[in-house]
Amino acid sequence: MTHRVAGCILTPQGWVRGLVRFDQRISAIEGESVAAPREGDQLVLPGFIDLHVHGGGGADVMDGEGAIDTLAQTHARYGTTSLLATTMTAPRADLERALADVGRAMKQRARGAARVLGVHLEGPFISAGRLGAQPGFARPGNLDELAALHALAPIRVLTLAPEVEGHLDFIRRLTVAGVKVQLGHSSGSYEDGVAALEAGATGFTHLFNAMSELHHRKPGMVGAALAHAEYAEIIPDLLHVHPGAIRAARRAIPRLYAVTDSTAGAGMPDGEYHLGAHRVTKCLGGVRLADGTLAGSVLTMDQAFRNLAAVGIPLHEAARQVSTHPADYLGEHQRGRLQRGAEADLVVLAPDLRLLDTYIEGESIELAHAR
């Protein structure tokens, strides 16, 4: 079935006021180039891509047994068209159960679900001193364990602490294997961060959170990111990171991109949920452990886009931070952009940035507000 959507369309070359035609892929974009949307324009943007999502709709990646379908359907209703299923630090058997479910979901996208592009393994190869909301199962990198997990579902991104003994060589081996290594949950120094980048690491996990802070005489992992990173993820829920820090990161890091770090409470009412082995509480727009520690988020990507716009990031740049940059980071060049031949992953927004429509590989998705 061929669809037609009209509006101010963001293409790699800039804005086009006109029409996009598509079935599973985009067949044509027609119209006139314009400098920017005008007041009252409906916006047509690339679908949102979330490279760090733990859960949603009451389901957690670590549950296995179909949880991936539930969370992927939940986030699709908020404009996420593809994602990486993100694990928690856990015993090997628990990780194997979770990745078996990811592998199953990747073989056949469930109706109404975001496309699962693979796994973001957040831990277990992190610092025991910087767990944040991660359970206490941190351990040094192990290639045999990683190979067993990768056989169940492709590990596209792996977060680790570079200061752990043996991890620089681990980074080199992962890089050769094609895994994107991100630095996070780390107490490492600025120098540790730079050495990891030189060894092949390419990104930073939830910048500013669960990493050694910036000080003018001890720049820490944050300093390494701001001074050297091309890519880094950030959680723009306005709880994890102050708007001023988002603006600072934007000026320093060319391809900063947004993630939700969302948990099972995303798309659900306030109450108690689980995050891996932890019980967490959703209230006041966030999710926390019993001691008050932020434990992921309940952010959705449509709200992430609105928050970026609200802190002063131009619409075209905010759109790339929720779509194009994460696609490029993974090498998914047929996603995260509206151009002929690309996957028909797109979102339609009202002039006030409310989500109106979502299409995933040409499939029209029922939105959360329509339920």
Q: How is the beta sheet containing 115-122 ordered, strand by strand? A: 48-53, 80-86, 115-122, 155-160, 180-183, 203-204
Close Cβ partners of 283 (under 8 Å, ≥ 6 residues apart): 270
Helix extents (H) in the chain: 67-76, 92-107, 143-150, 167-176, 190-199, 220-228, 243-252, 301-310, 315-322, 324-330
Q: Is 261 a catalytic residue?
A: yes
With beta carbons less than 8 A apart as the criterion, state whether 127 and 186 touch: yes
User: How far apart are alpha carbons 276 and 239 in whole angstroms?
Assistant: 21
Task: Give 119's Cβ-side CA count (13 Å radius).
Answer: 29
List b or e across 229-260, with b for residues whose CB sees 16 or more CB atoms inside 10 angstroms: bebbbbbbbbbbbeeebbeebbeebebbbbbb
CB atoms within 10 A of CB 340: 13
Close Cβ partners of 158 (under 8 Å, ≥ 6 residues apart): 120, 121, 125, 146, 174, 179, 180, 181, 182
Catalytic residue among 60, 101, 261, 345: 261
Q: Of 318, 174, 152, whose CA–CA distance to 250 is shortest?
A: 318
H or E stretch at 275: strand 271-275
Query: 268, exposed or middle or buried, with CB in 10 Å at 0-12, 13-18, 19+?
Result: middle
Q: And the tokens for 95?
A: 């990780």
Helix extents (H) in 84-166: 92-107, 143-150
Residue 360, classed as helix, strand or coil, is strand
Q: Hey, which residues are catalytic here?
A: 261
